[in-house]
Amino acid sequence: MNKPLTWTSFQVVNKLKWLIKQHPSLIVEGQKIKPKIGHAGTLDPLATGLLIICTGKKTKEIEQYQAREKEYTGTFYIGATTPCFDLEKEIDVRYPTEHITKELILQTAKSFEGIQQQTPPIYSAVRINGKRAYDLARSGEEPEIKAREVELKEVEITRIELPYVDFRVVCSKGTYIRSLARDFGLALNSGAHLTALCRTRIGEFRLEDASTIEGFQSQVQ
């Protein structure tokens, strides 16, 4: 599926579950069969793009799909940060950018390629003692999140028009592009946050082959 902007991944799952349940094939002896359905990898509400949906017996393979290599495109805003590293919250701090050149941006992008330790955002679905980090953060706590090993296989800069920098990233499971935005800003001796993000590939599955909510709805009706 191509997840729409502002939708949560769970909203997509719930919408598809409702549509599937309306299909006549799921009514047996007057009773509706409850379909199993789940997604293989969360996308933030402000991100768009590829969301793999598993149904029926395929829900047992969700972890296999989650583990596959992923590709994203998006935009960093250089010179300012937000508490959640994207546009969900307002800018909290601004930083100097006069020293930032095209060459520095390109060199910095290359420096992120390879295996590294990355700390997820406090506004994320990471579990800490059984609770989601974002729930703790929204209640006023500052959860301590441990860094995890990730691999950035490709970090390509596709456009530089400061304060905006467009990119393409190929990465391993568990990589947070919002964290990459934070770390990218720090590496530039400045600050940065994410203003746009689209997941374009998961393993061999590509966004151009994905269905929209409207397209799927027309197929099952």
One digit per residue, pLDDT tens: the chain, 221 residues?
A: 999 999 999 999 999 998 888 776 655 555 566 788 999 999 999 999 999 999 989 999 999 999 999 999 999 999 999 999 999 999 999 999 999 999 999 999 999 999 999 998 876 666 666 666 666 566 666 767 788 999 999 999 999 999 999 999 999 999 999 999 999 999 999 999 999 999 999 999 999 999 999 999 888 76
Task: Tell me if 195 sits within 8 A of 76, measured CB to CB.
Answer: yes
Mind listing the domains of the chain with CATH numbers?
2-67+206-220 (3.30.2350.10), 70-202 (3.30.2350.10)
Closest listed residue to residue 7, CA positions, set 50, 46, 52: 46
Task: Tell me if 84 sits within 8 A of 70, measured CB to CB.
Answer: no
Q: Is 209 a catalytic residue?
A: no
- The residue with tokens 């789940």 is 38
Per-residue model confidence (pLDDT) at position 120: 85
Per-residue model confidence (pLDDT) at position 130: 66
Angle between helices 9-21 and 213-220 (to 10 degrees): 10
Of 44, 86, 166, 209, which is the active-site residue? 44
Judged by DSSP in three states, 104 sits in helix
Neighbours of 145 (CB within 10 A): 17
List alpha helices for the chain, DSSP H: 9-21, 62-66, 102-111, 133-138, 177-187, 213-220
CB within 8 A of 31, min separation 6: which ones?
Answer: none
What HEC string does 129-177 produce?
CCEEHHHHHHCCCCCCCCCEEEEEEEEEEEEEECCEEEEEEEECCCCCH
